[in-house]
């Protein structure tokens, strides 16, 4: 017999999604000279024609505040050789440190920071925002530049389970 989801019991949901174990990307953006970026596990292609990509940003993150006003975004796939970058972008906050002083980057379209070490990436323009009242909000992106072809040796969310995020999604905003 299948488990019936008990109202208000997130445990069944958590057990459902845990094995899906998404690959991690680093999303960067810029607005008015302020750069920001964080690790994102909530992301996916969300349209075939036209091609669209969706990312979900935590409302507590520094990146969210910059993204609210930003037009351009870069989505970088993280491979196993660059776990340190994943730890920088997922374990520290732009509210406290300048992540871009600690890694090599080059400005791309609209000044969006492109991480020199992560060359499998897409650069995109924001199409829409969707806030359904959860602790993350969704942005849909139109790809402008696509570079590289990600290998299968990506870093997955379970591999950073030890990391304390720079911001917890459930902290007060």
Ligand X SMILES: Cc1cc2nc3c(=O)[nH]c(=O)nc-3n(C[C@H](O)[C@H](O)[C@H](O)COP(=O)(O)O)c2cc1C
Residues whose CB falls within 8 Å of the CB of residue 20, separated by 6 or more in sequence, listed in order: none
The position carrying tokens 């379970």 is: 158
Contact 29, 74 (CB under 8 A): yes
Between residues 3 and 80, which has the closer beta carbon with respect to ligand X? 80
User: Using CB under 6 A, which of the segments 4-12, 110-118, 124-132, 162-170 binds ligand X?
Assistant: 162-170
Six token digits for residue 123: 């650069």
CA distance readout (Å), 78 to 15, 46, 154: 25, 20, 6
Q: List the interface residues with ligand X, window 101-140 (CB under 6 A).
A: 136
Size of the site for ligand X (CB under 6 A): 26
Q: List the interface residues with ligand X, window 16-45 (CB under 6 A).
A: 24, 36, 38-42
Binding site for ligand X (CB under 6 A): 24, 36, 38-42, 56-58, 61-63, 90-95, 136, 157, 160, 163, 165-167
């Amino acid at each position: 017999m299948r488990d019936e989801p008990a109202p208000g019991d997130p445990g069944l949901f958590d057990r459902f999604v845990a094995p899906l174990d998404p690959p991690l990307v680093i999303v960067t953006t810029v607005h008015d000279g302020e750069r920001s970026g964080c690790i994102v596990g909530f992301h996916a292609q969300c349209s075939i024609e036209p091609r669209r990509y969706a990312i979900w940003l935590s409302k507590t993150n520094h990146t969210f505040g910059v993204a609210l006003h930003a037009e351009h975004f870069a989505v970088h796939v993280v491979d196993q050789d660059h776990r340190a970058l994943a730890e920088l972008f997922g374990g520290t906050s732009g509210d406290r440190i300048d992540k871009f002083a600690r890694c090599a980057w080059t400005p791309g379209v609209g000044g969006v920071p492109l991480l020199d070490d992560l060359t499998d990436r897409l650069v995109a323009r924001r199409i829409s925002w969707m806030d359904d009242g959860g602790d993350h909000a969704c942005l849909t992106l139109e790809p402008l530049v696509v570079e590289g072809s990600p290998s299968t040796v990506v870093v997955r969310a379970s591999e950073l389970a030890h990391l304390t995020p720079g911001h917890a999604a459930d902290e007060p905003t």
